[in-house]
Amino acid sequence: MKPHVNFRSGVPVYLQIVQQVKAAAAGGALRPGEALPSVRALAEELRINRNTAARAYAELESEGVIETRQGAGCFLKANGVSPLKRAVRSDRLAAELDAVIVQAHHLQVGDDDLKSLLAARLEAFRERQQTRSAD
C-alpha cells in the first residue's frame, strides 16, 4: 500500500490518501485486518507532515474503513455493514454521479454511452476483485 499524492490538483492531500486507501480496500489490494503503514512511515514516504497523514487515517476511521489501535497501528476493517441509512447512502452516491454526468455532458458523451461505460468499468472492477481474492 503506497499511496501517491498530487500536490497541484487542488484536492486536499489528506483526501487523496483517503480515496486511495478506500480504492485499495474496495479492490482487494488491502485485506481486512491488514496493517496500513504507520502514520510516521506514510508521512515520510509521501514527504508530507505527520499531522496530514494522521488526519487521513482519522477520517478513514470515522468512516468505518479502518480501525486504529493506540500504540499498535491502523488496520483495515472487515467490510461490515455501513452504519448509514440506505437513503443517505444513495444520496451521497447521487451527488458523485451528478458530477460525472456534468462532465459527460461537457465532453459530449451521450447518456447511453455513459451507461455502457459504467457497466464496463463495473465489470472490470469485479474482475480485478476476483483476481485478487484468488491470490
Partner DNA sequence: GTGGTCTAGACCACC
Partner DNA sequence: GTGGTCTAGACCACG
Q: Which residues contact 95 (CB under 8 A, 6 or more apart)?
A: none
Q: What's the CA gap between 4 and 13, in Å, rounded?
A: 10
60 touches which of a copy of itself, DNA, none (CB within 5 to 8 A by kind)? none
- Cβ nearer to DNA, comparing 49 with 90: 49
Asked if 12 touches DNA (CB under 7 A), the answer is yes
Shortest Cβ 35–a copy of itself spacing (Å) = 16
Scanning 20-28, 31-39, 83-91, 110-118 for contacts with DNA by CB under 7 A, the matching segment is: 31-39
Query: Rule CB under 8 A: which residues touch a copy of itself?
Result: 3-4, 6-12, 15, 19-20, 22-29, 49, 62-63, 65, 70-71, 79, 81-85, 88-90, 92-109, 111, 113-115, 117-122, 125-126
Which helix or strand (DSSP H or E) is residue 21 part of?
helix 13-27
Give the residues across from 69 on adjacent strands: 73
- C-beta neighbour count of 17 within 10 angstroms: 24
Grid cell, residue 89, equals 447512502
Q: Contacts with DNA: how many residues (CB under 7 A)?
A: 28
Strand, coil or helix: 28: coil
Task: Choose between 30 and 57: whose C-beta lies nearer to DNA.
Answer: 57
| Region class of 86: left (phi > 0), else alpha (psi between -120 and 50), else beta | alpha
Binding footprint of DNA on the chain (CB under 7 A):
10, 12-15, 36, 38-41, 47-52, 54-55, 57-58, 61, 68-74
